[in-house]
């Protein structure tokens, strides 16, 4: 779709197509040539209307072209301004880089030495904390082992006592059952 057609559609008007050809006439091939018709006032009004539309379309296109030219000029101005800003920033960056190179090697070594000493002190502190925590962990582990052994010993002794008590009760119950069977005249060995 051409720009002219888009403009006319967006304005709500019918598109005026300059290159449009009239539809072909269908008719008999052997018919006589038709006589040219005289122009009527209705046809003249149609031509005038088409002319008005084309004049309006040309005016709209001119306005559109003027607007685009203005936007292009503004874009060019902004581009030039941005280029100058980039040049200025590039100069500032170059100056900053040269300033950074001015720092002497001695200053860098002093700073490096102090950072190394700080790191070594932090590592020593961390190692002291780790060894202290390790000793506490070992101590807690030994205490837990003592508590577990004590609990297991206590549990074993209680189980032994309970086992003796159960064995005594089971022998008493077995004896009662045997006596009851004998009372009924049943030999307990056959059961």
Q: pLDDT digit string (tens) for 36-67?
A: 555 566 677 788 888 999 999 999 999 999 99
Please tell me which residue, 125 or 10, carries the higher pLDDT value.
125
pLDDT for 37 equals 54
Q: How far apart are CA 90 and CA 83, in angstroms?
A: 10
Confidence of residue 116 (pLDDT cuts 50, 70, 90): very high
Establish if 60 belongs to a structural domain: yes
- Over 60: is that where the pLDDT of 20 sits? no
Establish if 162 belongs to a structural domain: no
Establish if 37 belongs to a structural domain: no
Establish if 57 belongs to a structural domain: yes
Establish if 23 belongs to a structural domain: no
- Over 90: is that where the pLDDT of 190 sits? no
Task: Average the pLDDT over 14-20 and give the result.
Answer: 49
3-state SS class at 94: helix
Task: Average the pLDDT over 108-127 and give the result.
Answer: 92
Q: Please calculate the CA angle 85-86-91 and round it to the nearest 5 degrees.
A: 100
Establish if 86 belongs to a structural domain: yes
pTM above 0.75, yes or no: no
Establish if 116 belongs to a structural domain: no
> Pick from 25, 30, 5, 7: which is nearest to 17 by CA?
5
Establish if 47 belongs to a structural domain: yes
Q: Please state the domain count of the chain.
A: 1
Full domain range(s) for residue 54: 42-102
The overall average pLDDT reported for the chain is: 81
């Amino acid at each position: 779709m051409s720009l002219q057609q888009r403009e006319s559609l967006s304005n709500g008007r019918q598109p005026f197509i300059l290159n449009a050809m009239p539809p072909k006439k269908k008719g008999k091939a052997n018919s006589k040539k038709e006589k040219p018709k005289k122009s009527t006032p209705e046809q003249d009004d149609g031509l005038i209307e088409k002319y008005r539309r084309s004049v309006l379309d040309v005016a709209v296109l001119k306005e559109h072209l003027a607007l685009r030219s203005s936007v292009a000029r503004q874009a060019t101005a902004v581009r030039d301004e941005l280029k100058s800003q980039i040049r200025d920033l590039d100069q500032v960056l170059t100056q900053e880089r040269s300033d950074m190179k001015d720092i002497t090697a001695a200053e860098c070594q002093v700073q490096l030495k102090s950072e190394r000493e700080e790191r070594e002190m932090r590592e020593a502190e961390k190692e002291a904390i780790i060894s202290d925590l390790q000793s506490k962990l070992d101590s807690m582990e030994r205490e837990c082992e003592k508590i577990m052994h004590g609990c297991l010993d206590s549990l074993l002794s209680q189980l032994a006592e309970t086992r003796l008590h159960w064995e005594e009760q089971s022998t008493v119950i077995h004896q009662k059952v045997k006596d009851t069977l004998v009372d009924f005249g049943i030999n307990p060995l056959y059961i």
